[in-house]
Amino acid sequence: MKKVGLYGLLVLLMYNLFPLSASACSCVENRGVEEALELADAVFSGRVLDVQEQKGADGSQAKAVHFSVDRAWKGVNETEIIIATGLGGGDCGIDFIVGEEYVVYANQSSWYASIAPLEAIICSRTTSLAAAEEDLRELGEGTQPEHDVELMIGQSDPVKWWTGAIGGMGVLVVLGLLWRKNRRKQREE
């Protein structure tokens, strides 16, 4: 009976260390340029400098996308920005390609906030610059970003890494002590 409890504890621990996540993407409708601009927190055009897969705080995977901003219509005043998007498939992610230019409609990140404060998904009007004639015509000229910044994706947070390492070592110590206690008890019998 004690072994079952110990194995149950181990399974529960493993489940929490390696959570499974599921997601599905469902877009309600295609919005026009005016409505999409109104609903977006940021609208800009720019070239993709880098794309990297990142692990969110909840264990989910996403992509961080680093842009050089050429024009802005709303919510962006820096020369570079990092946004988040899903990996694709059922998580609404956009397949951004390094070196390509896009018009991006981004919102405050609800799914990927630990990766970047803004996200763009396939349900937005985000599209390649070459396919954005209607958007560019209706958006107008836009403005050039005023604040020159240099950003970088992938700077890991050492606090999170060490917290996980110490927690993992603690679990191993507890399991080792339980195993040792169990062996001593068996020898005495």
pLDDT tens figures, 79-107: 999 999 999 877 889 999 999 999 999 99
Write out the two tokens for 11: 């399974």
pLDDT tens figures, 13-23: 555 554 444 45
Identify the band that residue 145 occupies on the pLDDT scale cut at 50, 70 and 90. very high
Identify the band that residue 78 occupies on the pLDDT scale cut at 50, 70 and 90. very high
Radius of gyration of the chain (CA): 23
Sign, Cα dihedral of 84, 89, 91, 92: positive
The pLDDT, as a whole number, for residue 91 is 82
> CA 124 to CA 75: how far, in whole Å?
16
Question: Smallest Cα–Cα separation from 30: which of 124, 126, 168?
Answer: 124
What are the angstrom distances between the C-alpha of 71 and each of 108, 122, 127, 148, 187? 19, 21, 15, 13, 75
Q: Which residues contact 63 (CB under 8 A, 6 or more apart)?
A: 51, 52, 53, 54, 84, 85, 86, 87, 93, 96
> CA 81 to CA 117: how far, in whole Å?
10
The pLDDT, as a whole number, for residue 55 is 84
> CA 105 to CA 138: how far, in whole Å?
14
As a whole number, mean pLDDT of residues 124-151 equals 94
Identify the band that residue 158 occupies on the pLDDT scale cut at 50, 70 and 90. very low
| Count, residues in the chain | 189
Mean pLDDT of the chain: 82
